[in-house]
Amino acid sequence: MIGKKIALMAVFAGLTLLLGSGFAFDKLFIVGNQASIDRAREFFTTLSNESIPLAIITDQFDKVKKEKYIIVLGGAKGAGSVEDFVKQVLTREEQESGNQAGGKMFAKENVFVPGQTIIVFTGTDEAAAAEARKNGRKTWWPFLVQWFELDTSMPMAY
């Protein structure tokens, strides 16, 4: 009984030390407008099923631009769009090549801070960006596996 109490106290002390040391758990930041968020419901289900911690950002995108892991759900231009944020991440050539039917995916590293990765799904509209996300799963999934140390030993049921 005393051994269990000591072990429990050691675990508690370790957690207290870990949390008190400023250790932060990584989080995935999803940047998009409401239309692109609405088109990504199955994507969010996948993230939830894998217990990936995330924050969905629909405005004030510059406040998260220094986060470690960001996924941009691109789409239409105009009010509420992510166009200005995408212009900071992608080159002009990348923006032009991504502005097509079927969309395109880009993975950019160290854009605003060292160690950062930003994945951008872009297209002529939200539907094209969503298509790029769906068609690019074999490309973006390994990033999530690495970032959040996902167990891929068992096939996904979803």
pLDDT at 13: 41
Average pLDDT over residues 12-29: 56
For 143-156, the DSSP string reads: HHHHHTT---SS--
**What is the Cα–Cα distance from 152 to 47, expressed in whole angstroms?**
14
Nearest to 133 by CA among 144, 141, 124: 141
What domains can you pick out in the chain, each with its CATH number?
Answer: 24-147 (3.30.379.10)
pLDDT, tens digit, 9 for 90 and up, residues 108-146: 999 999 999 999 999 988 999 999 999 999 999 999 999
Among 61-65, 75-79, 99-103, the minimum mean pLDDT is found in 75-79
Q: Which amino acid, one-letter code, is at 79?
A: A
What are the residues whose beta carbons fall under 8 Å from the beta carbon of 70, sequence distance 6 or more?
Answer: 28, 29, 30, 31, 64, 116, 117, 118, 119
Residue 69: strand pairing partners: 28, 117
Predicted pLDDT of residue 15: 41
Q: How many CA atoms lie within 13 A of 98 on its CB side?
A: 31
pLDDT at 2: 58
